Chain A
Amino acid sequence: RKEVEQDPGPFNVPEGATVAFNCTYSNSASQSFFWYRQDCRKEPKLLMSVYSSGNEDGRFTAQLNRASQYISLLIRDSKLSDSATYLCVVSGNKLVFGAGTILRVKS
């Protein structure tokens, strides 16, 4: 079983749609949680950290459920520029990346 599992997608959505990604992780001792964004053939860029209390950054909302070992990302009012691969990342003593979920926003 992979340490971090994500639905690979792709999610094809129209502009303005709301889309949600989920991620599960296997190591209950994990301490920190993140969503990264990776554009094609580029390095990953930190999108936001994820906290149990839930956190929001503009159109992006992330949530962590430690009991279920489940992380989510909600994107509201999708823009064309949101098209990318979204990586769920879990950290203990190192960063462990999921394989990513592909999002394609179409006009």
Chain B
Amino acid sequence: GAVVSQHPSRVICKSGTSVKIECRSLDFQATTMFWYRQFPKQSLMLMATSNEGSKATYEQGVEKDKFLINHASLTLSTLTVTSAHPEDSSFYICSASKRAGDEQYFGPGTRLTVT
């Protein structure tokens, strides 16, 4: 149990376009979902925390108008990278937990390359 999927697993897009990444909890309801970003040889950095039905809480330095997060149901959260630029190229990983403070289950990640 506790499986989290992400789609797509890999995406290449042109600079200036927007990309949507989906994160789904497949066999449990996720009250809270998290979005992380990992640049090569660096640590995972939390971008934002989203609770179902409410606005996401963004970490310092993460632009909420650029990284749009929607957690519309207990099994789905989406991250939209708007007007992507090459510096947004990274590994984006979501995680989900059944309740706030519970163990986080990680998705397999989405590798975004902006050309």
Contacts and interface: CB of A to CB of B under 8 A. Distances in A.
Interface residues of B, number: 17
Nearest to A34: B103
Interface stretch (A41-49, A59-67, A72-80): A41-49
Contact of A97 (B41, B43, B103, B109): B43
B85 interface: no
A4 interface: yes
Interface in B21-65: 34, 41-46, 49
A8 B42 CA distance: 10
Nearest to B106: A43
A87 B43 CA distance: 8
A99 B43 contact: yes
A20 interface: no
Interface of A: 2, 4, 8, 41-46, 87, 94-100
